[in-house]
Amino acid sequence: MELFEKPNGSYISFFSNKVKMFGGINLAQGIPGFNPPAELIDELNAISKTNIHQYAPGLGNLKLLELIAQKYNVETANLLVVQGATEGLSLIYTYLLKLIGKDFSVLAFDPAYESYSKLPEIFGQPFIAFPLADNGSFNTDELSAEIINKNVKLIFVSSPGNPFGKVFSKDEVDSLVELSGKLGFYLVFDAVYDELYFNESPYIPVKSLNERLFIVSSFSKSLCITGWRIGYKIHHKVHAAGLQSVHDYIGLCARSLLQQALANYLEKYNYAEDFKAELRQNITQSFQSLSNGLNEQGFQIPKIDGGCFIWAELPEEFTDGFRFASILYEENKVAVIPGEHFSTSKTNWIRFNIARPMDEIMAAEKELTLFMQKHKG
């Protein structure tokens, strides 16, 4: 494959696989570079020799469901444990296709996580990237007109976002929930990064749960267990049977052993609040360090409130994000993601993963400085 030949599939897999095969610093894939809680691994080891290696209940481990229900103050009938948030998103999408057919458009705020645009692409449906204002806000009247004119029946929104770590305010989220009822679209609220915030905890619209709202989250990022593939979704009871019928054939169940270990750990250790607080502190420090370094190199970084990424516009000397990312890895072994993967209009932007230990962040800063000194100007 030529250096600047673009992959047919995911840019995230393309660049992160380079590190996995040839080494380097992985600021590409959204995986935390920290170990899971030691106590969680102890729980896994303790039960690994028990007879818990068969299928789990399709809805999820009963203790785990109860713990999630307590956290959000919902009933277990409003929950479904899935194989990571990615399955949760795909499951909802497939279910809605069954429920309302294919004659609709999908919308997400630009820039958007890849699944939001790729799911409609797979099924041959239109996708609309709705731009946010420079301050990260959206105009409700303009959004309403787009929804009506383009026959939008599904909107994805993430808070904090990926790649742009905007945290939507309570008023903004409530306005979207209200608009979904008024205009008749379904809202999928992706809260997978809700535990990774810099100051205030993001607002999750659980109390507004209705027939047109789905909430998706997971333990992957907040407990550094992306390989465990344990996520969950919150939905109105009217959708429970329909979602379960689809889940039976595309997901079946999350891993029984891992669900039980996770449930035991969460029950004993206050839902991992201490671990998550330390993780937030580490990510905040990484953000401050790398953003300062990038600013010194001429990158433009919009204000964010959470998540585990820096979304940065390249200095004006660089106009091609894919070329920048390709040469950066080839010469300095630092993997990042070109902005065009998340937005067709952001060809001169880059996403950096900041959920990495400080020594990796500092090593990446050093390599970026050397790279910029060589290529800038």
- Which residues in 34-121 belong to E strands, given as ranges? 79-82, 105-110
Residue 53: is its pLDDT beyond 80? yes
**Predicted TM-score (pTM) of this structure:** 0.96
Residue 138: is its pLDDT beyond 80? yes
Q: Residue 286: CB partners within 8 Å, gap ≥ 6?
A: 354, 355, 356, 357, 358, 361
Confidence grade of residue 8 (pLDDT, cut at 50, 70, 90): confident
The residue-averaged pLDDT of 275-296 equals: 97
- Alpha-carbon torsion angle 350, 354, 358, 362, nearest 10: 0
Residue 281: is its pLDDT beyond 90? yes
DSSP tag of 55: P
pLDDT digits (tens, 9 = 90+) for 175-225: 999 999 999 999 999 999 999 999 999 999 999 999 999 999 999 999 999
Q: Residue 71 — φ and ψ, nearest 5°?
A: -60, -45
pLDDT for the residue numbered 115: 94
Confidence grade of residue 70 (pLDDT, cut at 50, 70, 90): very high
For the chain, percent of residues with pLDDT exceeding 70? 99
**Cβ atoms 202, 194 nearer than 8 A:** yes
Residue 9: is its pLDDT beyond 90? no
- Which residues in the chain belong to E strands, given as ranges? 25-26, 79-82, 105-110, 127-131, 152-158, 186-190, 213-218, 231-234, 309-313, 334-335, 337-338, 349-353
What is the SS3 assignment for 200? coil
The count of other CB atoms within 10 Å of the CB of residue 19 is 18
pLDDT digits (tens, 9 = 90+) for 236-245: 999 999 999 9
Ordered by where they begin, the domains of the chain are 11-30+274-375 (3.90.1150.10), 49-268 (3.40.640.10)
pLDDT digits (tens, 9 = 90+) for 228-238: 999 999 999 99
- At 57, list the tokens: 């209940």
Residue 377: is its pLDDT beyond 70? no
**Ramachandran region, residue 194 (left: φ > 0; alpha: ψ -120 to 50; beta: rest):** alpha
Residue 1: is its pLDDT beyond 70? no
Residue 5: is its pLDDT beyond 90? no
> Among residues 306, 106, 303, 65, which one has the least CA distance to residue 191?
306
Average pLDDT of the chain? 96
pLDDT digits (tens, 9 = 90+) for 322-366: 999 999 999 999 999 999 999 999 999 999 999 999 999 999 999
For the chain, percent of residues with pLDDT exceeding 90? 94
Q: Give the H/E segment covering residue 276.
A: helix 273-296
**Cβ atoms 132, 110 nearer than 8 A:** yes
DSSP 151-186: TEEEEEEESS-SSS-----HHHHHHHHHHHHHHT-E
Q: Residue 47: CB partners within 8 Å, gap ≥ 6?
A: 257, 260, 261, 264
> Residue 35: CA atoms inside 13 Å, Cβ hemisphere, count?
6
pLDDT for the residue numbered 97: 96
What's the helix, strand, coil split of the chain in %, to 5?
45, 15, 40
**Cβ atoms 336, 122 nearer than 8 A:** no
State the Cα–Cα distance between residues 234 and 77, nearest whole angstrom.
9
State the Cα–Cα distance between residues 80 and 251, nearest whole angstrom.
11
